[in-house]
Structures are given as C-alpha cells and as structure tokens.
Amino acid sequence: MDTAALGLHRLHFAFTITFHYLFPQLTMGLALLIFILKLYAYRSGDERYHKAAQFWTRIFAVNFVFGVITGIPMEFQFGTNWSRFSKVAGGIIGQTLAMEGVYSFFLESTFLGILLYGERRVGHLIHLIASFGVFAGSWLSGFFIIATDAWMQHPVGYTQAANGDIQLASLLDLMTNPWIFWMYLHNMAGAVVTGSFVMASLGAYYLIAHRDKDQGRIFLRLGVIVGLISALVMPFPTGDGQGKNMARWQPAALAAAEGHFHTEKGASMVLMGQPDPERQILDNPILIPKVLSILIYQNWDAEVRGLDDFPRDQWPDQQELLYYGFHIMIALGTLFIALMFAAAVWLWRGKLFDARPLLWIIMLAAPFPYIANTAGWMTAELGRQPWLVYGLLRTHDGFSSKVNAGNTIFTLLGFMGIYAVLSILFIVLMQREIERGPSAEEAH
C-alpha cells in the first residue's frame, strides 16, 4: 500500500468537501429564514419583509451556484480518488446520491427560479409556496447526503456478494437508518445557526453603518431569535442524541474524541487538555468528575469504555485532530448560546438596536459557525476512521491505488488554485449584493 498516496487522497477529498460545505450550510439555513420572511410578508402585507426576502434570495442564489460548482467535482472524486470504494459500495451510495440530484436538486432549483424571477407572473401566494419549495428542496438534499454518510457510519440494509461488493437489500432500511435521525437534525440545526448568524451579522452591519436601518432591524431580530433557538437545539437534544449513537455503535470514536484513554466507572468529562496517544494520557487536563458517565448513560457511576478497551487497529488514526475538532465544536457552540442569549435579552428590553458594542460582536461573529460546522464534520469523519464503511471496508482498501502521489499533488494544487479564484469571485459578488442592499429594486 502506498501510504503517501493514501494520505494525499484523503487530504484532497478533505479539502474539496470542506470548501464545498461552506456554501450548502448557508443555503440550508437561509432557506428556512427566507420562508419565514415570505410568510410574514404574505400575512402582514408589510413591504419591508417582502424586500428582506428578496434580498436574502439573491444571497441564497449566489451561494447555491457556488455550491453546485464545488459539489460536482467532489462527487467525481468518488471515481477518480476512491474508485475501489465506489466499486464496492456504489450500489448503496449511488442510490442516495442519485435521489439527491434527481429529486431535491431539481425541486430546489426550479422553485428558486420562480422565487427570483416569477413573482409578478405567479402572484404572492405562489411565490410563498415557491419559497417553501426552496426550503423543502434544500432540506431534502441535506437528508439524502446525511443518509449516504449515515450508511457509511452505520451500515444497514445491505448484502455482500461473493466478490466483496456491497449490494442494497432494503431501501427502507437504508432510509430509516437509526444513525440518520440525530445526525440529520444536528446538521440542519448547525446550518440554521450559520444562516441566523450571517443574517444577524449583516443586520448589525447595516445598523452600525447607519444605512437600511429598517431592514437591518428585521435581519437582526429574526437572526437573533432563530439563532438562539437553533443554538440551544445543537447540544440538546440533537448533540446528545448523536453522542449516544457514537457510544452505542462507535465507542472507540467517542473515547478518542473525549480524550478518554482508560476504561473507568464514573468517567469525567474533559473541558481542556492536550491528548498524548503514545503515552495514552491527557496533559494539563481540566475535568468535571463523572459528567461523561451521566451524559452517556444517565448514571453517575456508569462504566465508559476507553481506548485501551479496543484493539489498536480500531483506533481513529488522527486522534489529536479528532479530539480538537470535537472540543472546538463544543466550545463554539457554548459561545453561540451565550451570545444569542445576551442579544435576545437586549432585544426583549428594546435596547439591542442601539447597543453598538454588542452589534460589533454580532457582526464579527459571522465566521465562527462555519468553523464550528467544519469541526463537527471533522469529528464525524475522523471518528469513523480507520473505516470508510464502518466495520466493512477500511480506508486503505478504498482509495484509487493506481493514482500515485505525484498525480494527486498535481490535482490538489490545481484545485487549490481554482478554488482560490472562486473564493475571490464569491467575495466580490457577495460584497456587491451587500453594498447594493435590500432596498434595491428587483426585476421580475
């Protein structure tokens, strides 16, 4: 096995998928917020909410286009970089990826066209329905992608042929995989956090800049309210449910993420520390006694398995990165709750729109949900290692062994260059829309 090539294939896919997911997490979050704005505009007849929905639909459209541009190469990588995985598991993952493209993508893109250009032709009610269609399509897309990943995390509904190929035995089992439920809700709540923070951040910017103040207040109010709700949903019940999935089906991943090297009763939760896998200890730990046992098993004295309870070849192979990704996600999630709670209190007291220090904090907080969502996906994917399909196909058996390290470096550098150009273009387009503002007239 060419370990250098394998590492580069993993880095290549990690780069493309991390860059790609910068866009869908915002579109999925904004889809819900746009529908709320359209619903309020329809029921109240308030033109301000109508213009707010128009503005965020333009932002949504830019993100949608870049999500498509970066998503297509990522799916091709299943064939170019992970051909053995595609051969063995294509009969399963091909189902959900095809449904994502055929059903949710066309649903979302069709209704987005109506939402962008069709209001004067179809009327307000159909336009409201179109906004719901965009919301349904984007969230259905997320479901099919999560169903794909959930099967890789916890394979169900399959049979294995004599040549090792994995074949679909039950579509119902695939779509009702018990891993899907909490993972999907946790992921979508994370997307709503991103959408809410971006909306609130831009609202804060407009108020600080003394422009589009009516729209800025709408953005800030909706972003803070929905942001607080979604931030609260992240740790419980969705994060708690996903943690229990890991404890049941991927206990080694949970142990590595928690920095829990040794099996013990009444296990402590780690707030801070530096993992040392070689010596199987945490340096400079700050612990809360027995909390890990109560969180996982609702029993202060329950036994939690440590990494020493598993064979070394089943340990995640990037333990430090997994540990830090997990703790960054939790730390940022806690800060999100604190910030949105403080903003909600100021909003309730009628002082938020004039609280400039808090407005500055909200405006500058926009990038952090992207970091938290990326850290969360790192936790999920690194935790599954050393498996591509948990318990069935190891990572070193799934990559394209005939694509050598030199070729992989060449294409990785090419992708980095292209995506750098795309990043600049995206920033220019977003800056243009933000400066144009929500008061700009729309052509229908």
Q: What would the DSSP string read from start to end of 17-54?
A: HHHHTTTHHHHHHHHHHHHHHHHHHHHH--HHHHHHHH
d(CA 102, CA 366): 32
The tokens describing 14, both together, are 């990690």
CB 126 within 8 A of CB 114: yes
Q: What is the pTM of this model?
A: 0.95
φ, ψ for residue 270, nearest 5 deg: -90, 120
d(CA 158, CA 178): 15
CB 9 within 8 A of CB 400: yes
d(CA 57, CA 290): 47
The residue ranges of the chain whose pLDDT is under 70 are: 1, 118-119, 440-444
Q: pLDDT value at position 1?
A: 60
Residue 123 buriedness (CB in 10 A; 0-12 / 13-18 / 19+):
exposed
Tokens 């993993």, residue located: 10
**DSSP 8-state assignment for residue 102:** I
Tokens 């099967």, residue located: 151
d(CA 112, CA 38): 13
The tokens describing 64, both together, are 């949608």
Query: What's at 86, amino acid-wise?
Result: S
Cis peptide bond upstream of 237, omega within 30: yes
Angle between helices 178-208 and 213-233 (to 10 degrees): 150
Q: pLDDT value at position 109?
A: 87
Q: pLDDT value at position 121?
A: 77
Q: pLDDT value at position 440?
A: 67
Tokens 């096995």, residue located: 1
CB 230 within 8 A of CB 199: no
| Nearest Cα residue to 84 out of 322, 395, 439, 321 | 395
CB 27 within 8 A of CB 60: yes
The residue ranges of every structural domain in the chain are: 3-263+305-436
φ, ψ for residue 354, nearest 5 deg: -110, 5
